[in-house]
Amino acid sequence: MKSGTRKLFVLSVAVLLGTQALGDSLREAVVRDSAIRAGLVPPAETIVRTDDALVAVGKDLFESKLLSLSLDTACASCHLDRFGSADGIPVALGTDASGAGLDRIAGGGDIIPRNTLPFWGRGGKGFTTFFSDGRVDASVSPMISQFGETPPSEDPLIVAIHLPPVEIGEMVLDASSTDGLQTETLQSAKKIYDIVARRVQDDIELSSRLAAARSIAASEITYLDIASAISDFIRFNFALKDTKFHRFVFANGNLTAEELNGALLFYGRGRCSSCHNGPYFSDLEFHAIPFPQFGSGKNGFGVDYGRYNVTMNPADLFAFRTPPLYNVSKTGPYSHSGSTASLREAIRYHVDPLAFFDSSMPANERAQYYQRLTLWAETGLNGVVFSDAEYADIERFLGTLSFESVLQVNEVDLVD
**For residues 357 and 336, what is the distance between their CA atoms, to the nearest angstrom?**
18
Evaluate whether 121 touches 239 at the Cβ level (below 8 Å): yes
Nearest to 236 by CA among 79, 63, 40, 52: 52
**For residues 392 and 21, what is the distance between their CA atoms, to the nearest angstrom?**
24
The answer to whether residues 65 and 178 belong to one domain is yes
The answer to whether residues 354 and 297 belong to one domain is yes
To which H or E segment does residue 32 belong?
helix 3-37
Q: What are phi and psi of 16, to 5 degrees?
A: -60, -45
Domain CATH code at residue 233: 1.10.760.10
16 is a domain residue: no
Q: What is the pLDDT of residue 13?
A: 44
The b-or-e profile of 41-59 (16+ CB within 10 A means b, else e) is bebeebbbebeeebbbbbb
The answer to whether residues 75 and 216 belong to one domain is yes
Total of domains in the chain = 2
The answer to whether residues 77 and 168 belong to one domain is yes
13 is a domain residue: no
Query: Across the 416 residues of the chain, what is the mean pLDDT of every consecutive 10-residue run?
Result: 55 50 81 98 98 98 96 95 96 94 91 97 97 97 95 98 95 84 89 97 98 98 98 98 98 97 97 97 97 93 96 96 98 97 96 91 89 88 90 98 95 58
Other Cβ atoms within 10 Å of 190 Cβ, number: 13
Residues 6+ apart with CB under 8 A from 234: 58, 62, 119, 122, 123, 157, 161
Residues 6+ apart with CB under 8 A from 100: 80, 82, 83, 87, 88, 411, 413, 414
299 is a domain residue: yes
331 is a domain residue: yes
29 is a domain residue: no
**For residues 20 and 174, what is the distance between their CA atoms, to the nearest angstrom?**
63
* CA distances for 99 relative to 177, 408, 413, angstroms: 24, 17, 5
The answer to whether residues 277 and 159 belong to one domain is no
Bridge partners for 136 per DSSP: 130
**For residues 225 and 254, what is the distance between their CA atoms, to the nearest angstrom?**
44
Farthest CA pair distance, the chain = 96
Q: What is the pLDDT of residue 23?
A: 59
Exposure on the CB side of residue 82, measured as CA atoms within 13 A: 10
The answer to whether residues 236 and 281 belong to one domain is no
The answer to whether residues 353 and 230 belong to one domain is no
The answer to whether residues 261 and 363 belong to one domain is yes
DSSP code of residue 198: H
75 is a domain residue: yes
Asked which of 219, 240, 261 is the last residue of a domain, the reply is: 240
Bridge partners for 269 per DSSP: none
The answer to whether residues 112 and 163 belong to one domain is yes
- Determine whether 251 is exposed, middle or buried from the number of CB atoms within 10 Å of its CB (0-12, 13-18, 19+): exposed
The answer to whether residues 358 and 396 belong to one domain is yes
234 is a domain residue: yes
**Helix axis angle, 204-214 relative to 52-62, nearest 10°?**
150
Q: What is the pLDDT of residue 16?
A: 46
Within 170-305, residue ranges assigned H as helices are 186-202, 204-214, 223-237, 244-251, 257-267
Write out the residue range of the structural domain in which residue 173 sits: 52-240
Q: What is the pLDDT of residue 12?
A: 53
To which H or E segment does residue 287 belong?
strand 286-287
Residues 6+ apart with CB under 8 A from 203: 66
CA dihedral sign, ordered 30, 32, 33, 39: positive
The answer to whether residues 280 and 137 belong to one domain is no
DSSP code of residue 116: P
* CA distances for 383 relative to 37, 141, 170, 293, 350, angstroms: 24, 37, 40, 23, 11
28 is a domain residue: no
**For residues 410 and 221, what is the distance between their CA atoms, to the nearest angstrom?**
24
Q: What is the pLDDT of residue 378?
A: 85
Asked which of 240, 264, 282 is the last residue of a domain, the reply is: 240
Exposure on the CB side of residue 83, measured as CA atoms within 13 A: 23
The answer to whether residues 317 and 252 belong to one domain is yes
Asked which of 207, 240, 273 is the last residue of a domain, the reply is: 240
**For residues 182 and 169, what is the distance between their CA atoms, to the nearest angstrom?**
10
Evaluate whether 297 touches 303 at the Cβ level (below 8 Å): yes
Other Cβ atoms within 10 Å of 195 Cβ, number: 15
Evaluate whether 406 touches 236 at the Cβ level (below 8 Å): yes
